[in-house]
Amino acid sequence: MRAVALIPARSGSVRVPDKNIRSLAGHPLVAWAIAGARESGRFETIVCSTDSDEIAEVARSYGAEVVSRPPEMAGATSPDIDWVRHALEGASYDVFSILRPTSPFRRGATIERAWERFGDHCDSVRAVRPVREHPGKMWVRDGDYIRPLLPQTEGEIPTHSRQTASLPEVLVQDSSLEIAWTRIVADGEIAGERVVPFFPEGEEGISIDYPDDFERAERLAAERPELLPEI
């Protein structure tokens, strides 16, 4: 299989300014994504999709190829399918993997374990974890009142009045990795219908989305540098 690693690194992060090139343990976040992809040995090419000349220069310096992303695909609400389709345009890869810079503790071995779950039996593999706050206990505003987020079944005990252990397991995706067949992109999808779960272990699935996430990552990198890929 011809496989490509896609590293999305747009500019304009609001919660953590310049997040993708912010230094962690002496290297920018995007470098750790490139290192993890290379460490796995699974990819023919590592491509960084970015709208920033500065990020592009950094990505190239660490050995990635760069695809310049149009501004309309680099907004805070731009869907992933647009930049993925753009990055794959004109290429002939069978498989792509999205490896976001916000998960610096995703090592090559992490990617390898996820790869073992991928194959013809599915459309994609996606990193997930059990939710800590169950949606069955959530509410939304309804005028002056609130109502349960989830539809309730008449004649059954409302989900908000049941023990969490009695509710169906719910998983939430994290941003550490996705692996998918490129054929599903033609259908406007990056996940498809047959999605196999992958459960990161320990710190592998940590995502840097807020300033305190970065502080935690800095502590981990200082105390346990072996958690990071080799550069």
Q: Residue 188: which pLDDT band, with cuts at 50, 70 and 90?
A: very high
Give yes or no for a contact between 98 and 30, defined as CB atoms under 8 angstroms apart. no
Among candidate residues 33, 126, 135, 133, the one with its CA nearest the CA of residue 80: 126
The HSE-up count of residue 155 (CA atoms within 13 Å, CB side) is 0
Asked whether the beta carbons of 126 and 173 are under 8 A apart, the reply is yes
Rounded to whole angstroms, the Cα distance separating 198 from 200 reads: 6
The residue type found at 228 is L
Weakest mean pLDDT among 71-80, 95-104, 119-128: 71-80
Percent of the chain predicted with pLDDT > 90: 94
Q: 176 with 112: CB under 8 angstroms? A: no
Query: What average pLDDT score do residues 102-121 get?
Result: 97
Q: Is the pLDDT of residue 93 over 80?
A: yes
9 close to 55: Cβ distance less than 8 angstroms: yes
Alpha helix (H) ranges present in 10-106? 29-40, 53-61, 80-88
Stretch 217-226: mean pLDDT, rounded? 97
Computed over every residue of the chain, the mean pLDDT equals: 95
Q: Residue 183 and residue 156: Cα distance in Å, rounded?
A: 42
**Beta pairing, strands 171-181 & 95-98:** antiparallel
Task: Report whether 198 contacts 125 (CB < 8 A).
Answer: yes
Domains in the chain, start-ordered, CATH in brackets?
A: 3-128+172-227 (3.90.550.10), 135-165 (no CATH)
Residue-wise pLDDT tens digits, 4-56: 999 999 998 778 878 999 999 999 999 999 999 999 999 999 999 999 999 99
